[in-house]
C-alpha cells in the first residue's frame, strides 16, 4: 500500500508543477547500440551465430515497449481508471520501459508511456531509452541490494544513481583484466565488474514478480493481486534447489565461447541472450507489422525466435499420457495425465495465458464419437464458458462426461463481489487458479499468493508436477475398437483477454484487435499429445 501511495503522491506533485528534477542525478543509462558493436559477430566453431545483440534484439525483452498488446492493455487500464492514469503509466513502465522510468524516478519525475508513443520516429533521449526496452545497461547495472526480498519486486531493483557517467560500473559473470576494462570504458563509458548476482533468479524476480493494486471508480485502492509470481512458484518447487531461471531462459553455449568480438576471451558457460519464454505468438505480429511498430530486428531473426520458442515449448514444457482404456456398460473410461516439465506453474506469468486438453474419441471407422476442447479459428474453445460469456468461467474438472466440459488450466481474475474480469486493476483475487503445478509444489503448504484456487484445491489428483483427469464417454451403438487422442494446447493471449479490448475507444486497442484477428487461428500451440486404443 505504501508503494502505491507514493506513486499517487508523485502524480499530485507533478500535476501541481512541483515535480522538478533532482539536482546532481547523472545520466544512468545508454542505449543498446553502444554495446552491440562489440557483442555481435559471435559464431561458434559449428557456424552458429550466438551474438548477444542479435539474439537480444529479436527477443520480447528488446521489444517490451513496442509490444502492441501491452500498449493496448495499459490504455485499457487508464481508460478504466482515469483518475489515476498517470500513476498507472508510471507503474507499468517500470518493467517495459525500465531505463526511461528509472531515470525519471531518480530525477523526481514520473515514468510516461503514451507521451513517448508511437515509437517511430524516435525523438530525444527519453524516448530512445523508453523504446530500447529491457536493455543491456538496465539489467547489467542492477546491484545486489535487496534482491530476493519483497522490496525488490515490482521493479524494486537498485541502480547506483550517484556515480557520474564515465565512472559507472556494469556487472557481468566474468572478471575482466585491465586491458579489457579500458576497452569497454572507451566504447561504453562503463567499467566491467564481476558479480555473481547478475545470473541469479533473484535478479529476474525483480520484474517477474508483480503485485498490482485494484482501484474503485474513485481511484481508491481496494485490494492487491499477485498478478504474476513465477519466482515464488519456483521457490516452492523442487527446481529451486537445482535449476535457476537462466538455465532454461538463457541456455548456455556448449564449450568455450568469447563474449565479445573485440578482445574476446574464450569463456565457459556463455549464456545466450535469447530469453526464450512462453510467447511464440507476439514475434509473428511484430514481424508482420514491423514498420508500424518500429521493429529493429530483421525478419529472419523474429521468425527464428518464434520457431525456437515454439520448439522449446513443444519439447520442454509438458508430457501427456493416457492410462489403460476400458469399456463398462457402454461407457468408455480413460484417464489422462498431464506432467509439468517447467520450474513454475504451467502456464505462468501474465494471467491472459491458458492451456487446455483437447480430447477426441474415434470409432473403428475413424469417425468422432466424442470431442472436448476443440479450438475455433477465432481462438475460442468450443464449450468453454468464459469464451462464450465473459461473466462466467469453466470450472476445474476431476472427471469430464459431456462434450461441453473442457479442462482449461488458467487463472481467472475476480473483482469485488466475485465478478469475473480481465481488467487487471479491477481484480482483487483469483476465482480460479488451476495452472499445473511444478514438481515438488506442496499445494497444502503454499502461501496464499501462489495457492491453488477453485475446485483444483480439493482435487486429490491435482498435485505437484501433474494433474490426472478422468473421461467417461458414452459410446452408444458405435463400434470399436476406439481410439482416444489427447492433446495439450497453449495460448499466450486467450480469446476473452483479446476480445475484451474490441470495443474500447482507443487506437491501441483497435489496432491490437485487428492484429489478433489476423493471427487468431495460429494463436495456440500444441504442447504435447498422446494416443491409445481399446483392445
pLDDT tens for 38-59 read 999 999 999 999 999 999 999 9
Place of cell 529472419: 300
pLDDT digits (tens, 9 = 90+) for 387-433: 999 999 999 999 999 999 999 999 999 999 999 999 999 999 999 99
Place of cell 517447467: 342
Q: Can you list the positions of beta strands (E) in 249-330?
A: 318-322, 326-328
State how far the Cα of 535 lies from the Cα of 530, in Å rounded to an integer: 17
Q: From first to last of the 535 residues of the chain, give the pLDDT tens digit.
A: 444 444 444 444 444 443 434 568 999 999 999 999 899 999 999 999 999 999 999 999 999 999 999 999 999 999 999 999 999 999 999 999 999 999 999 999 999 999 999 999 899 999 999 999 999 999 999 999 999 999 999 999 999 999 999 899 999 999 999 999 999 999 899 999 999 999 999 999 999 999 999 999 889 999 999 999 999 999 999 999 999 999 999 999 999 999 999 899 999 999 999 999 999 999 999 999 999 999 999 999 999 999 999 999 999 999 999 999 999 999 999 999 999 999 999 999 999 999 999 999 999 999 999 999 999 999 999 999 999 999 999 999 999 999 999 999 999 999 999 999 999 999 999 999 999 999 999 999 999 999 999 999 999 999 999 999 999 999 999 999 999 999 999 999 999 999 999 989 999 999 999 999 999 999 999 999 999 999 8
Backbone φ and ψ of 80, nearest 5°: -75, -25
Contacts of 511 (CB under 8 A, 6+ apart): 68, 72
State how far the Cα of 302 lies from the Cα of 55, in Å rounded to an integer: 9
Contacts of 307 (CB under 8 A, 6+ apart): none
Among residues 339, 500, 325, 307, the alpha carbon closest in space to that of 409 is found at 339
Pairing of strands 190-194, 168-172: parallel
State how far the Cα of 165 lies from the Cα of 272, in Å rounded to an integer: 28
Question: Quick one: cell of 243?
Answer: 535449476
pTM of the model: 0.95
Domain spans, the chain: 2-243, 317-511+518-533
Angstrom distances, CA of residue 160 to CA of 170, 194, 533: 10, 16, 63
Task: Work out the burial of residue 213: count CB atoms within 10 Å of its CB; fewer than 13 is exposed, 13-18 middle, 19 or more buried.
Answer: buried
Helix residue ranges, H only, 110-240: 124-131, 136-139, 178-188, 201-208, 230-235
State how far the Cα of 101 lies from the Cα of 113, in Å rounded to an integer: 9
Amino acid at each position: 500500500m505504501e508503494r502505491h501511495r507514493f506513486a499517487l503522491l508523485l502524480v499530485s506533485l507533478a500535476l501541481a508543477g512541483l515535480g522538478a528534477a533532482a539536482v546532481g542525478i547523472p545520466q544512468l543509462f545508454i542505449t543498446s547500440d553502444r554495446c552491440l558493436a562489440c557483442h555481435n559477430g559471435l559464431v561458434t566453431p559449428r557456424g552458429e551465430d550466438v551474438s548477444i545483440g542479435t539474439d537480444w534484439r529479436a527477443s520480447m525483452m528488446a521489444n517490451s515497449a513496442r509490444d502492441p498488446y501491452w500498449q493496448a492493455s495499459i490504455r485499457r487500464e487508464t481508460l478504466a481508471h482515469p483518475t489515476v492514469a498517470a500513476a498507472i503509466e508510471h507503474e507499468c513502465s517500470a518493467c517495459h520501459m525500465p531505463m526511461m522510468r528509472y531515470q525519471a524516478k531518480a530525477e523526481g519525475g514520473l515514468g510516461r508511456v503514451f507521451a513517448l508513443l508511437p515509437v517511430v520516429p524516435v525523438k530525444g533521449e527519453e524516448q530512445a531509452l523508453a523504446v530500447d526496452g529491457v536493455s543491456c545497461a538496465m539489467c547489467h547495472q542492477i546491484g545486489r541490494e535487496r534482491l530476493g526480498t519483497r522490496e525488490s519486486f515490482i521493479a524494486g531493483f537498485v541502480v547506483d544513481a550517484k556515480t557520474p557517467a564515465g565512472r559507472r560500473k556494469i556487472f557481468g559473470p566474468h572478471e575482466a583484466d585491465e586491458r579489457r576494462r579500458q576497452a569497454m570504458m572507451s566504447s561504453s563509458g562503463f567499467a566491467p565488474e564481476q558479480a555473481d548476482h547478475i545470473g541469479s533468479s533473484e535478479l529476474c524476480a525483480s520484474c517477474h514478480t508483480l503485485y498490482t493494486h485494484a482501484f474503485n471508480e474513485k481511484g481508491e485502492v481496494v485490494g492487491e493481486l499477485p498478478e504474476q509470481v513465477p519466482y515464488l512458484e519456483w521457490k516452492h518447487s523442487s527446481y529451486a534447489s537445482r535449476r535457476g531461471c537462466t538455465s532454461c531462459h538463457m541456455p548456455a553455449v556448449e564449450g568455450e565461447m568469447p563474449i565479445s568480438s573485440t578482445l574476446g576471451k574464450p569463456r565457459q558457460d556463455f549464456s545466450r541472450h535469447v530469453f526464450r519464454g512462453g510467447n511464440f505468438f507476439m514475434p509473428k505480429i511484430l514481424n508482420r507489422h514491423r514498420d508500424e511498430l518500429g521493429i529493429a530486428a530483421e525478419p529472419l531473426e523474429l521468425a527464428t525466435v518464434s520457431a525456437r520458442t515454439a520448439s522449446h515449448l513443444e519439447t520442454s514444457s509438458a508430457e501427456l499420457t493416457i492410462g489403460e482404456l476400458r469399456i463398462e456398460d457402454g461407457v468408455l473410461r480413460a484417464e489422462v495425465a498431464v506432467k509439468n516439465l517447467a520450474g513454475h506453474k504451467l502456464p505462468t506469468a501474465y494471467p491472459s495465458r491458458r492451456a487446455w486438453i483437447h480430447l477426441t474419441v474415434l470409432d473403428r471407422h475413424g469417425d468422432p464419437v466424442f470431442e472436448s476442447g476443440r479450438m475455433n479459428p477465432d481462438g475460442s474453445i468450443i464449450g468453454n464458458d468464459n469464451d462464450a460469456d465473459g461473466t462466467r468461467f469453466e470450472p476445474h474438472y476431476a472427471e469430464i462426461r459431456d462434450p461441453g466440459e473442457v479442462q482449461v488450466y488458467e487463472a481467472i481474475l475476480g473483482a469485488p463481489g466475485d465478478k469475473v474480469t480481465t481488467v487487471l486493476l479491477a481484480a482483487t483475487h483469483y476465482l480460479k487458479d488451476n495452472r499445473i503445478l511444478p514438481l515438488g509444489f506442496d499445494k497444502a503448504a503454499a502461501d496464499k499468493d501462489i495457492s491453488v484456487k477453485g475446485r483444483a484445491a480439493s482435487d486429490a489428483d491435482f498435485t505437484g508436477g501433474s494433474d490426472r483427469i478422468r473421461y467417461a464417454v458414452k459410446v452408444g451403438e458405435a463400434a470399436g475398437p476406439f481410439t482416444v487422442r489427447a492433446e495439450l494446447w497453449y495460448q499466450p493471449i486467450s480469446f476473452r483477454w483479446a476480445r475484451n479490448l474490441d470495443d474500447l475507444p482507443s487506437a491501441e486497442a483497435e489496432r491490437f484487435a485487428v492484429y489478433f484477428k489476423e493471427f487468431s487461428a495460429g494463436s495456440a500451440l500444441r504442447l504435447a499429445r498422446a494416443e491409445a486404443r481399446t483392445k
